[in-house]
Amino acid sequence: MTAVSVLLCFFFACTGHKSPPQRQPSSDVHLRHQLFQSTLSIVDSPQLDSDDCGNNEQKKIRFRSRVAYSGTPYSGFQLQPHRTTIQGEIEDALYRRYNRRIAVVGAGRTDAGVHARGQAIHFDLLQDEVPFSSTIIVHNATASERSSCDDFCNELQYSMNRMLPLEIRLFRLQLAPYEMSTKRIWHATQSSSSKWYSYRFTLGPTLLNPLERFVRTHIVHRPSFAPTSSCGQPYALTTDDITRLKSILEVYVGTHDFKAFGGQLEQNEKRSGKKMNTIRTIHTVELVKESFEFDSTGSSELNCFIGEEGNYRIDFLIEGALYKMVRNMVGTAIQVWLGNMQQTQLVELLQTDDSGDVEKSRKDNPCKPAPPEGLTLECVYYNDLF
């Protein structure tokens, strides 16, 4: 251990600084990183995502799975060189089992510190890696074939979870279906219809439960519209305050241009050479009061940590999100609620300029994104109710 490492450990031990443990890449990760640049293109290659299941030359069978993870010790979902990610950990587990790199495609690319309860992924295995024929996808399977497929999926899910870190769990691993409506095999990203994100936070001057410090954000700032107290008592939230926040969040509902809420748009456009479509549809935005448990006597004092009466959650049902879009939406709404920004400014940021004379950018939005720990990808929805 270097002298700098010793000093840092001494600093965190003495100050009690909140520093969540960062998972270090394994030896397999280092091996994969050496081949990162040359193999990353495999994820979106036509060969890997070939969807013609009726082709006799098709030798890959697609599987899909739900994924739940705590994003605290990870640098996001997407594979990154020399960083520990959710996708990287899943691919490492597949590599250890099949001794080759198997690309994993996720429905959403959550950023560092963001969690997921119902993320969706898919990956392709070769014909000789499964105990049944690829024709089971497009033809009626016999009872024996279906039983063999189910047993294999259950065993693979169990094996993967044994190899994955405790912060990541696969569930509902199954054969990906062939979609008759699109004549394509199921795809984690392209087949999704909508996504449900939630953002959890504690409002007001109450304490944040330390057990939730990595899954909830504490908003402790005093609203500018709050009346001053001559006796120095902390400001207590009122029904009008919550009603005001709900009205601000409702501004997002509908189809708008979210260019002022996306992250790294200019960098991505320069890298790809294509202009990104920043029009997104928000189906529902709901502010939910999260209740706490009462004991057998009807009192909450024994089971409720002080401050949990200020726990809230914002639910977003959207078709798709730009990078950091949801966090920027929450951060901007909170700043409007605190009185640091006018609601009319928020409306202007969402307006689409049909003339093209005024080009919006993230710089037009002065608000910072909400912290990542409060955000969770709750579910990715599909037409087949997967």
Contact 174, 136 (CB under 8 A): no
CA-based torsion, 105, 111, 112, 117: positive or negative: negative
Q: What is the CA radius of gyration of the chain?
A: 24
The alpha-helical segments, DSSP class H, found in the chain are 3-15, 27-34, 36-39, 86-98, 143-163, 239-249, 265-272, 325-337, 343-350
**Active site residue: 49, 51, 111, 124, which one?**
111
- For 318, half-sphere exposure in the C-beta direction (CA atoms, 13 angstrom radius) is 24
CA distance 374 to 201: 6
Contact 219, 330 (CB under 8 A): no
CA distance 143 to 146: 5
Contact 126, 60 (CB under 8 A): yes
Joined together, the tokens standing for residue 120 give 């969706």
- Name the DSSP class of 290: P
Instruction: Supply the DSSP string of 322-376, one letter for each residue.
Output: -TTHHHHHHHHHHHHHTTSS-HHHHHHHH---TT-SS---GGG--PPPPPGGGEE
What Å distances lie between residue 112 and 79, 165, 221, CA to CA? 12, 16, 25
Length of the chain: 386
- Residue 296 has φ and ψ, to the nearest 5°, of -65, -20
**Residue 338 CA to its chain's centroid (Å):** 26
Q: Could you confirm whether 384 is annotated as catalytic?
A: no
C-alpha dihedral (247, 252, 258, 260), degrees to nearest 10: 10
What Å distances lie between residue 298 and 116, 290, 302, 337, 354, CA to CA? 33, 17, 10, 33, 57
Nearest residue to 64 (alpha-carbon basis) of 182, 180, 141, 149 = 149
Which active-site residues does the annotation give? 111
